[in-house]
């Protein structure tokens, strides 16, 4: 099979496509013919060697895919050959075939195409667990989403809206604003303005009043995080998801105290590994919401595996609206 392989940690131009032996499913495992694999910002961190969990070298990147089961190992009960499935794994998705544990696979509806199924994985699971499990979002609350046109961002906009929140989408350009509005955002917050430190808060106040945002889900870090924190409501919850800006922000403990706020971390693969039953249940909820028309994965572009460099560069340069995927023959 063809696979994208990292033989060292570093720049994207060190990756190579090469022939690899077909993986063999062991007990409790499933082998899938990959049709589409989602590309995510954490993939770049893994390739670069800066992610919190790094696989042994050499390795195949990619944390999610969708395809058709072609073989199962001993003891597999939930999945059978021929099933169309979505898969979430730690690495290995950027290949023509992948082996995963049975609990990491989920049968998808016939109406859901493979690219959308791949795009419904990591980002939507992150958004759902952040809003429901970690932030305990209540209907009627105000949610501010930074990086709102990216993969996690658009997923958060859609899920928060489906759960009855008022959604503020923080974006940096008109095309990203249009995507966020199309996904259900009630108000747009422009982070390309001058004096972001004060201006972001004023935009939030103008949209929803001086209480501010009950929940802030931050994908960006850096200056956007600093400015968004100034717009949090008393007893609000700040969700730390990622740092696509490159700077990991710091918070003075005094601010947490005087505003009675919570700062909450969210790392989705821990739920996949520590609570697979809950992870599987949420994945089914997302599929049900998608079938009901409440969620609409936005796939901006699909690239054949051989054009991986273009797809990864779009993510690296923060030019992706929604998701890009890699496809196999």
Q: Give the mean model confidence (pLDDT) for residues 194-202.
A: 95
3-state class of 223 per DSSP? helix
| 17-21, 80-84, 248-252: least confident range | 248-252
> 116 CB contacts (<8 Å, ≥6 apart)?
290, 297, 299
Q: Which of 113, 191, 130 is nearest to 165 (CA)?
A: 130
Instruction: Identify the CATH class of 2-120+297-327.
Output: alpha beta
Tokens representing 261?
């706020």
User: With contact defined as beta carbons under 8 Å apart, do 34 and 105 qualify?
Assistant: no
For residue 329, pLDDT beyond 80: no
For residue 26, pLDDT beyond 90: yes
- Give the H/E segment covering residue 42: helix 41-48
Q: Give the mean model confidence (pLDDT) for residues 192-205.
A: 96
Count of CA atoms in the C-beta half-sphere (13 A) of 86:
24
What is the pLDDT at residue 52? 85
For residue 23, pLDDT beyond 80: yes
Instruction: Give the sign of the dihedral formed by CA 126, CA 133, CA 160, CA 213.
Output: negative
User: With contact defined as beta carbons under 8 Å apart, do 213 and 239 qualify?
Assistant: no
Helices 196-208, 222-229: axis angle to 10 degrees equals 50
Q: Give the mean model confidence (pLDDT) for residues 247-262.
A: 91
Q: Give the mean model confidence (pLDDT) for residues 188-208.
A: 96
Which CATH superfamily hosts domain 123-268? Answer: Medium-chain alcohol dehydrogenases, catalytic domain (3.90.180.10)
Q: What is the pLDDT of residues 264-286, one digit of tens each?
A: 999 888 898 899 889 999 999 99
Q: Give the mean model confidence (pLDDT) for residues 114-142.
A: 96
| 53-67, 264-278, 292-306: least confident range | 264-278
pLDDT more than 70, % of the chain: 100
Q: What is the pLDDT of residues 160-193, one digit of tens each?
A: 999 999 999 999 999 999 999 999 999 999 999 9
Q: Strand order of the sheet with strand 213-218? A: 187-190, 166-171, 142-146, 213-218, 232-240, 262-265
Whole-number average pLDDT of the chain: 95
Domain with CATH 3.90.180.10 in the chain: 2-120+297-327, 123-268
Q: What is the pLDDT of residues 216-245, one digit of tens each?
A: 999 999 999 999 999 999 999 999 998 988
Q: Rg of the chain over CA atoms, in angstroms?
A: 20
Measure the CA–CA gap between 18 and 247, rounded to whole angstroms: 35
What is the pLDDT at residue 59? 97
- Give the H/E segment covering residue 169: strand 166-171
**pTM for the complete prediction?**
0.94
């Amino acid at each position: 099979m063809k696979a994208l392989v990292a033989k060292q940690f570093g720049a994207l131009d060190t990756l190579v496509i090469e022939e690899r032996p077909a993986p063999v499913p062991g007990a409790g495992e499933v082998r899938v013919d990959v049709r589409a694999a989602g590309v995510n910002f954490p993939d770049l961190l893994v390739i670069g060697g800066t992610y919190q969990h790094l696989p042994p070298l050499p390795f195949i990147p990619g944390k999610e895919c969708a395809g058709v089961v072609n073989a199962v190992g001993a003891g597999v009960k939930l999945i059978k050959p021929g099933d169309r499935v979505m898969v979430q794994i730690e690495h290995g998705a950027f290949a023509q075939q992948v082996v995963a544990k049975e609990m990491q696979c989920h049968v998808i509806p016939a109406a859901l195409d493979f690219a959308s199924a791949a795009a419904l994985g990591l980002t939507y699971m992150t958004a759902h667990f952040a809003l429901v499990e970690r932030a305990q979002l209540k209907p009627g609350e105000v949610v501010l989403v930074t990086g709102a046109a990216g993969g996690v961002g658009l997923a958060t906009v859609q899920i928060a809206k489906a759960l009855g929140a008022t959604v503020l989408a923080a974006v940096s350009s008109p095309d990203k604003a249009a995507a966020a509005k199309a996904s259900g955002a009630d108000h747009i917050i422009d982070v390309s303005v001058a004096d972001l430190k004060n201006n972001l808060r004023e935009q939030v106040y103008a949209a929803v009043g001086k209480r501010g945002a009950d929940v802030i889900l931050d994908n960006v870090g850096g200056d956007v995080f600093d400015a968004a924190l100034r717009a949090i409501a008393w007893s609000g919850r700040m969700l730390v998801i990622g740092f696509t800006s490159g700077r990991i922000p710091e918070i003075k403990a005094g601010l947490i105290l005087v505003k009675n706020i919570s700062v909450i971390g969210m790392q989705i693969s821990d739920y996949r590994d520590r609570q697979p039953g809950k992870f599987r249940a949420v994945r089914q909820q997302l599929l049900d919401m998608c079938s009901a028309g409440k969620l609409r994965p936005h796939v901006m572009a699909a690239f054949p595996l051989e054009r991986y460099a273009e797809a990864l560069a779009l993510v690296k340069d923060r030019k992706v609206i929604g998701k890009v995927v890699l496809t196999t023959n």
